[in-house]
Chain A
Amino acid sequence: MAELYPSLVQCAIVAAAFKVLLFPAYAPQLACYYSFASCEGMVLRGLSLCAPDSNCLAVVDTVAEILRMDPRLPPFFAAFEWLMSQAAAYVDPAMLVVQNLGYDSWQTVYFQRATVIVTELVLVFALSRYVKSAPSWDKQAAHVASLSILLSPGLFIIDHIHFQYNGFLYGILILSIVLARKQSTLLYSGILFAILLCLKHIYLYLALAYFVYLGRFYCLDPKNVFRPRFFNIVKLGVCVLGVFGIAFGPFVQWGQLLQLKDRLFPFSRGLCHAYWAPNIWAMYSFTDRALIPLAPRLGLSVNQDALNSVTRGLVGDTSFAVLPEISSQQTFLLTFIFQLIPLVKLWFHSGPNWETFVGAVTLCGYASFLFGWHVHEKAILLIIIPFSLIALKDRRYFSAFRPLAVAGHVSLFPLLFTAAEFPLKTVYTVFWLILFLFVFDRVAPVPERPRIFVFDRLALLYPHIRHSVDSVLLAGSPTDLRIRTTTVLAPDVHEQLFRTWCCRELGWIYGGLFYRIDRFLDRKGSFRLAYN
């Protein structure tokens, strides 16, 4: 097979050049004093000051107090930041002084942004492993998919403008998924995922899929459910517990475990994040808001307390005026039910199937995103990135991926609200969508059996609807931007409409995707039967 061109490394170099040009782009780091915009950069730096210190949380407390937000990252990430801070000491020692929280010399900004680019090498490595692991007939599709992840506008917006270390984290996730491809490396996949959980606990969204997959095909005999493999169980158990022990042991020692738990799982915060993630709860909140003026006519009682603070997830509880309150237990139950469907499929699959596993990972992320408690909009990458790995399986996967890619990436737009970044994010995203959806369209093979399901009909209709919706949205965005920059705390109808729109999209994509995978597996099963 001819060498794939352009190679991952070439693309990474060109992309890195572009990202370096973005160094001075507006990162909410600088505005965190003035707005409640999430400002990871500051928090990360706050953590890097103190990581291995026993009174770490105390320092973080002060930081959080200043910033009015909680750092919510597990211990390994703190250790990672501590490593960064060791390098930072050579660049500009002043950035490590705790008192200098608002410090933003250009050295600091450049250093922090450079670390994002450098740590993204993990992603490049993981993607190259992914391409290598793909069977030869699938190499080209794998290459295209890995390029799409490397150049993803999601990572571009969140990491390189907004500022986070997602490239690095998703690199580990992909590496772990790739390692799950072979039976012999399943253990390493599990260990890597445990480490990933200790780096950022948002990956708990995907944990059940790992749990089921490893449990079924590593701890039990793949051919016979009733034959456990004890040695494997011990190996996996020791390794995973060891990882968690290293991560959380010191906190147990210091007696800070509960404090840490509160910090990592902020249930005191509302159902919705301050910026609504486009999920079910955004629709729910929106319905609630819409019902307020109608309530007297419909004879519904309105909770007066909620009127002043409707769905402002920032401060304390979300409260609804008309509709019943949602508790965290309810959201968990819903999430669990919807995660269960693909997991059952995964469990009863005869023999380990990597694609089913990736599908289950995607769907677990999907369910958590749609029904979870206090979901952040950035979590959409948890769906898009694993899904990219199997989106080119055949055209039906791709047709589910297409609207997801559009709606998911566009839903990230409100993260960046300054004028200068507006053209950057839109142009880049539109460019990426055109390029990759076009290429995907050419690369994705025709499914073995053509089938038009009701959702396919919707997907066929989708581009036409989207044009009209997009034009409305684009007309709305500048106003949206202006409102957000001037009155940050004011409720904004534009945005909520927008969120609701994204949610509706994502909702039925979930249904469509699940149905597809379900049917696909059925078909495989029936083939196998016919074969035997």
Chain B
Amino acid sequence: MAPSTPSSHRPRKKRKVPTAPGSNNNLILDIGDGKQTPAFPSSRSYGLRVRVPPMHGDFEAQRHWMEITTHLPMARWYLYDLQYWGLDYPPLTAYHSWLLGKIGSIVEPAWFALDKSRGFEDPHLKVFMRATVIASEYLIYIPAIVNFLRRYTRMQGVHAWSASIALVAILLQPATILIDHGHFQYNTVMLGLMVASLDAILAGRMLWACLFFVGALGFKQMALYYAPVMFAYLLGVCIFPRIRILRLINIAIITLAAFTLLFAPLLVAATNPEARALFATSPQPPLLQALPISLDKNTAAYAILFQLTQTIHRVLPFSRGIFEDKVANAWCAIHTFYKLHHFDVSLLQRASLGATLASIAIPCGIIFRHPRASLILPALSCVSWGFFLFSFQVHEKSVLLPLLPMTLSLAGDGGLNKENRAWVGWANVLGSWTMYPLLKREELRVPYIVMTLLWAYLMGLPPVCLETYRSRATLEDPNPQFELHLLTKLIHFAFYLAMVGWHVLEAFVPTPAGKPDIWVVLNALIGAGGFGLAYLWCMWKLITQCRQIDLQVAEEESRKKKQ
């Protein structure tokens, strides 16, 4: 599953206005079309007055899903008019859309009238949709984070004051806010379920952890970035320090049951006669064709299999390119200097599979061998950085995934020390910086600037203030060993300078003729370098923490032996 890590978005080719040639499926860096008009005028009340004709971005996609899920039988959810924002998220998103659509239809049925409501942009609808994001966040993400932090800080013996600071820092993460409340998505639901799963792990409730994680996976396939660590951890828990077969079986059963529960409504709906007739006449999804078995098209088994494979086919797009747009990962960086589109897609797929596996092997191995709850955050960030950098079909929004566990580490023991703060802050600022081209397209420049700078100010980071990097012994922190390494300072300053310089360039220097995307490419290159460093730092952090714990354990054991 590694190579085909899906992206979180719908490809932009589906947009009706053909202004973005080649930004997408092919591997050509897009040429021409420096101007893309805002997709959805957004960020709270942003762009309510934008006069550019709307191009129907993610906002329209989400609205459209509410429309189809509330009006169509389940059997048609993953089949209906796929050219126009066909549903391409796992079932939980569909159920979520259905619920919100039902609620919205009570308020105003015209918002979600089948087919007639396409491109509907009533101010009241906008308020409703934005409110659903906020409500979903408050129902899932925020309680999960609060619970997790409460448990985590208690475990690590962190003072309540520091825990509150960490909580604010996590909830104000600029990238998450900009994507969810500006660009319009429901990432916080998936992230919230993931955090709930982590909370269950800390509490030692492995079965709940499985359940929540399947929920996250069932909401957005992006959660696959976290899957190897969860798998390795849960497996490790069953094997080390001694093999516990029963636990392993329980975990396996619960996971399977959760998946069954997730798909059950869809599959049950597939067995009724109408759905069967529909499936019998629809073109087979490629996955079903690839299966060695052949079934009678009118049986219930065929319908179930059809529905399952069709869903998986929609959710995991195997046939897309190695990267989409310009994203700050390794492939896009390599492509800049050495064009990759000469290669066969299957070769690229294999290459990315190999690279991803190589990048996640060490952290997964460590967490498998040392399944400790305190190691899971660095392992998660390391692995998701690996995925972000090397896997197939990455989208710039996926950077939220590695940023979450990294930012959560602020709440750990010593999480607010200068080193951790500097690195986590730097990665976050860099993360939202790499999303700037995306945000700019949607007229979210002002929120981007404000949110990022505000967060940097609250964290005491450049470019707003140098608090974190100043080396002086204060009363609270007279210990010089907490000072940042000179190399860290140099690297960070170089990146901050590059980011500020890039903004100046982008704003004032016109792109040279024939290379309209040069600034975006430069952004992706710098971003890829930075994320590579972040990956290495997380890896180093994981290894040192692991060694520290080992040493502690060894000491304790020797002490016991002496006694």
Contact = CB atoms under 8 A, between A and B. Distances in A.
Interface of A: 13-14, 17, 20-26, 30, 418-424
Interface stretch (B74-82, B407-415, B450-458): B450-458
B49 A24 contact: yes
A236 B190 CA distance: 68
Given A21-B446, A21-B450, A24-B49, A419 B123 contact: yes
Contact of B457 (A13, A30, A419, A420): A13
A20 B45 contact: no
A24 B45 contact: yes
Contacts of B123: 418-420
Given A14-B454, A25-B45, A26-B49, A20 B126 contact: no
Main secondary structure of the interface of A (DSSP, over half): helix
B463 interface: no
Contacts of A13: 454, 457
A20 B450 contact: yes
B131 A24 contact: no
Main secondary structure of the interface of B (DSSP, over half): helix
B124 A21 contact: no
B285 interface: no
A21 B172 CA distance: 14
Contact of A17 (B46, B47, B454): B454
In this complex, the member of A13, A24, A26, A423 whose beta carbon has the largest number of chain B beta carbons within 10 angstroms is A24
Given A17-B453, A26-B49, A30-B49, A420 B127 contact: yes
Contacts of B43: 21
B162 to A, nearest CB: 15
23 contacts: A13-B454, A14-B458, A17-B451, A17-B453, A17-B454, A21-B43, A21-B44, A21-B447, A21-B450, A21-B451, A24-B46, A24-B47, A24-B49, A25-B45, A25-B48, A418-B48, A419-B124, A419-B127, A420-B48, A420-B123, A420-B126, A423-B130, A423-B131
A422 B45 contact: no
3 nearest A-B pairs in the assembled complex, by CB-CB distance: A419-B123, A420-B45, A17-B454
Contacts of A30: 49
Nearest to A27: B49
Contact of A24 (B48, B124, B126): B48
Interface string B17-52: 000000000000000000000000001111111000
A116 to B, nearest CB: 15
B118 to A, nearest CB: 21
Nearest to B447: A21
A26 B48 contact: yes
A436 to B, nearest CB: 19
Contacts of A423: 127, 130-131
A418 B48 CA distance: 11
A30 B49 CA distance: 10
Contacts of B457: 13
Contacts of B124: 419
B127 A422 contact: yes
Nearest to B457: A13
Nearest to B127: A419
Contacts of A20: 446, 450
A17 B44 CA distance: 14
Contact of B450 (A17, A419, A424): A17
A193 to B, nearest CB: 36
Contacts of B47: 24
A421 B49 CA distance: 13
A23 B446 contact: yes
Interface in B74-123: 123
Nearest to B453: A17
A81 B256 CA distance: 69
Interface in B120-143: 123-124, 126-127, 130-131
